[in-house]
Chain A
Amino acid sequence: MSLPVTDPIPEGDPLTLAPRSRDGLLIFGATIVAIVTFLAVFGPHIGPYNPTLTTPRVAVPPPKFTEIPSTLIGWINGTLPHAPHWMGTDASGYDVFSRVIAAPRTDLTIALAANALSLTIGVFLGLIAGYFRNWGTEVLMRVSDVMQSFPVFISAMVLVALAGRSTTNIIIALAFVYVPIYVRLTRAEVLSQTSRGFVEAARALGQPEIKIALRHVLPNSMTPALIQSSVTIGFAILLTAGLSFVGAGVRPPTPEWGLMISTGAGAIILGEWWPSVFPGIAISLTVFGFAVLGNALERRYEAAQ
């Protein structure tokens, strides 16, 4: 579930929470993020089947636990008629495993691009709104308020459905939803930075305002937004999957986790669990990994402050 809530209160007490256990979480999160990134690059090529081509075998269940060793041996010896379907096949005959590992290319690309876009725009606007305080930036903040009060899921759905279900449009829709968060975060940080001595010092040296804002304030104010990125990427994956689930996301047969869950949803009442359970586990772990990584980084940053 993608909650648009960034902690209003920074997580406290870095003293009482032992740093070692946080490092364990950091490693866990980083590992998951590394695996997903690896799959985003190589996933579509390393699966046993082409993720966008059907096989003649429809709704084959995955091998049972007891069958796994014999299947594995048969596969290695080459005695099987075809490569095993480790996660079964869905109602159209797609190999679920190949699609689950190919999907990060779709999901992560959308999430990373949407995050990069909203981060760039949001940080830039936040810098302007925090550094130059006048009626113009006041209007900017009010507009950002109204944007933030849009119902997130519905506005993303409207944007994608009306503009056309393409990857680019999904990226733009998600970026639109996440920009206000970055504006707010950066502006708050800029406000706290400008009250420090170095801005005064730069001004005393006669540097132009634009240069102070870009050279001195910006690099010092970006950390919260960068840390938020990890959380945003995770939630963007959730939102992408949710959009596909209701039919306002990528088009079939694109390998995408939410779409796979949606395709398998009808069959789950009949007991065919594998087409939707495996992609769900993938989303669940991926988003959790990003959330854990973001949280660990946030704590490190706060402890360092």
Chain B
Amino acid sequence: MLLRSISRRLLIGLIQLLGLTIAVFFLIRLLPADPVSRLVGMNASEQAYAQAQAQLGLDKPVLEQLALYLGLMPGTQPGLLQGSLGISWVTNSPVTSEIAAYLPVTLELITLAFLLAFVVAVPVGMLSALNPGGRADKGVFVYSLFAGSQPEFWWGLLFVYVFFFQLGVAPAPLGRLSPMTSPPEWVTGFILIDTLIAGQPAKFVEALHHLMMPVFTLGFVLSGPIIKMVRQNMVRALQSDFVLYANCVGLPRKRVARYALRAAMAPSMTLIGILYGFMLSGAVLVESVFSLGGIGQYAIRSVLAFDYPAIQGVVLVITAISLLVYLALDLIHAAIDPRIAH
């Protein structure tokens, strides 16, 4: 039963991804941009232009380009069906391996930011739900509205000014490690894990130090919507019949609150999933403030260089991860609240 619904969801997801791939493919080719002249320069000779155009495969009919990209033409280059996202026009290396190098940076950043936001949001949201309409609730409400509507890149810069320039407690916003430190051997791409695997605790601390401000910046803006959601679901759970019953039976207040929290967390999962998927590309501004080199910065670079295969790859991978996260969280939702599965 569960297995069937998972495979159904995966199938629908695949169809959606295929639709998205084709949509993006045509969309970027419909826009009036000229990637060839971006590559060879404005003053290139006609011959050089034609040569570059042929090299990128842009001289072929669009449908043939699409078939090549999807990998439907055996005997030529590998395509999507063979698990290849094409070759970057700028760096000439496979998009798949480039994305694999950039993606963990972003995943690490946003996962830590979510953990931070969650650790803050759950108690705060619960407290404000225990006394709806009270002074604390109103204060928390204004805070969450404020945090959720902020330009996070500006806050990042502000934190850099205060904590790096004025107080000197944070490192310069120049990457995941100081420029002088050699990075640990690449195993997972998550720098906190890789430094531990390499057995270099000093570098682990350094990486943590460098991640502190970006995680704090993102955690701050994320805390807004998450607090709001926890509070709403908690208020609803506290008003439900089973809490009334538990209170009537005379269960201790703490235990009732724990039951209510569990009931409140379940529906929160959907929004967490949407936020996580959104953050995969939404973290781009914070990544560029702190020069972390994540998938968002890769996207900026590709877009500004008109690197079509890279753009398509980034959009496809981010959407695919979002869909998988939605699915995973729906499963967790069903595990917390068994009523959903039926």
Contacts and interface: CB of A to CB of B under 8 A. Distances in A.
Interface stretch (B72-80, B199-207, B317-325): B317-325
Nearest to A149: B319
A271 B31 CA distance: 41
A246 B160 contact: no
A241 B154 CA distance: 10
Contact of B172 (A155, A241, A261, A269): A269
Interface of B: 16, 19-20, 23, 27-28, 31-33, 132-133, 137-138, 142, 145-146, 148-155, 157-158, 160-161, 164-165, 172-173, 221-222, 225, 232-233, 235-236, 267, 270-271, 274-275, 277-278, 280-282, 284-285, 288-289, 296, 299-300, 303-304, 306, 311, 314-315, 318-319, 322-323
A184 to B, nearest CB: 13
Contacts of A155: 315
Interface residues of A, number: 59
B315 A150 contact: yes
Interface in A1-47: 1-5, 8-9, 11-13, 16-18, 21, 25
Nearest 6 A-B pairs (CB), nearest first?
A151-B281, A280-B154, A16-B133, A162-B33, A162-B31, A291-B149
Contacts of A164: 32-33
A146 B300 contact: no
A75 to B, nearest CB: 28
A88 B323 CA distance: 47
B282 A246 contact: no
A150 B20 contact: yes
B23 A146 contact: yes
The A interface is mostly helix, strand or loop, or mixed, namely helix
29 contacts: A1-B149, A1-B282, A3-B225, A5-B271, A5-B274, A12-B232, A13-B235, A151-B280, A153-B281, A153-B282, A153-B284, A154-B299, A158-B311, A161-B33, A162-B31, A241-B151, A245-B285, A246-B284, A246-B300, A248-B303, A261-B151, A268-B160, A268-B161, A269-B161, A269-B165, A269-B173, A280-B154, A280-B158, A291-B149
